[in-house]
Amino acid sequence: MSATATTTTAASASTITLDSSLAGHDEEQIRLMEERCIVTDTDDNYLRDGSKKECHLMANINKGLLHRAFSVFLFDPVSGKLLLQRRAPEKITFPNMWTNTCCSHPLAIKGELEETAQIGVRRAAQRKLDHELGIPAAQVPLDDFQYLTRIHYLAPGDETWGEHEIDYILFITAQVTLKPSMNEVCDVKWVSPEELKALMTELDPEAFTPWFKLIVEKFLFPWWAELLQRRTSKPVSGTAASAAAAAATSAQQGEGVCDAKSLADLQQHVRMVARLTQSPVRPIQALGQRRSRVG
């Protein structure tokens, strides 16, 4: 029989009912489990909303419950390095693991339900970059996010929690200021392709989130190589001062700057389907027609 209790977090006046799956976890992370995610079918069509807790319980995932998510890869436009984060130990799912810049979910709210040109996902990405890493929205304009593809994957974290997502992959290049929330992120690191390969060789494979490992294995390095190769003279996003500094640095180096929007022709209207256990990865499949949903 599950033990139950109630608690009221400092960040919310709402009362949250706890069961054994949440007992002992951080109060702020428990509060976030009440957020409403977007439940979809396997073609990414909206079905309904569901709590973050409901969507991440393996008991529901094993019955096929699937939700929409995104993964942001943020690159410095001058160095071309990728920003990694290490998930805080307070996180309920996949704590203490290294991953891409930001991984989260659009919510079932007006604005983030909108699907045209992935605008809802972009808005969610902008919101979460601020929440997790303290990156102001002005430094990551919505139009600067470049959508590349979606992956559909399933990954157990433990017997209780896991992920089953249709994950939108977004690249962005921007000079940013960082002020990480220690309840979300316990470390950050800028890496080149060579440094990431060395890090993934040096650390235990379990030090990285399963979706990040999948994206690295199947997609990241060819896209990253194209990003570095397609340097342009376009001004970079960020504050006026940081943009000017970046332009001066790149001019001194005799190089252009990286621009995620230069990868628009690589956008894929397909998805990869993977169960990240001992089962082999299934081949890439085309997505069916999707109904438009505007919140």
Helical segments of the chain, H only? 27-32, 52-56, 58-61, 119-133, 193-202, 210-215, 221-229, 240-253
Name beta bridge partners: 275: 154
Which one of the listed residues 37, 55, 102, 103 is annotated catalytic?
A: 103
Residue 55 annotated to the active site: no
Catalytic residue among 90, 115, 165, 184: 165
Query: What ranges make up the beta strands (E) of the chain?
Result: 5-8, 15-18, 36-40, 46-51, 67-75, 82-87, 98-99, 102-104, 146-156, 162-173, 185-191, 270-275, 285-286
165 tagged catalytic: yes
Max intra-chain CA distance, the chain: 67
Q: How far is Cα 17 from Cα 37, in angstroms, rounded to an integer? A: 18
Using alpha carbons, list the distances in angstroms from residue 277 to 115, 155, 205, 212, 274.
Answer: 30, 7, 13, 14, 9
Measured CA to CA, the distance from residue 274 to residue 262 in angstroms comes to: 28
Angle between helices 193-202 and 221-229 (to 10 degrees): 160
Residue 65 and residue 57: Cα distance in Å, rounded? 9
Answer yes or no: are the C-beta atoms of 141 and 175 closer than 8 Å: no
58: CB partners within 8 A, 6+ apart: 156, 158, 159, 160, 161, 162
Q: Which two tokens stand for residue 232?
A: 């342009």
Catalytic residues: 103, 165
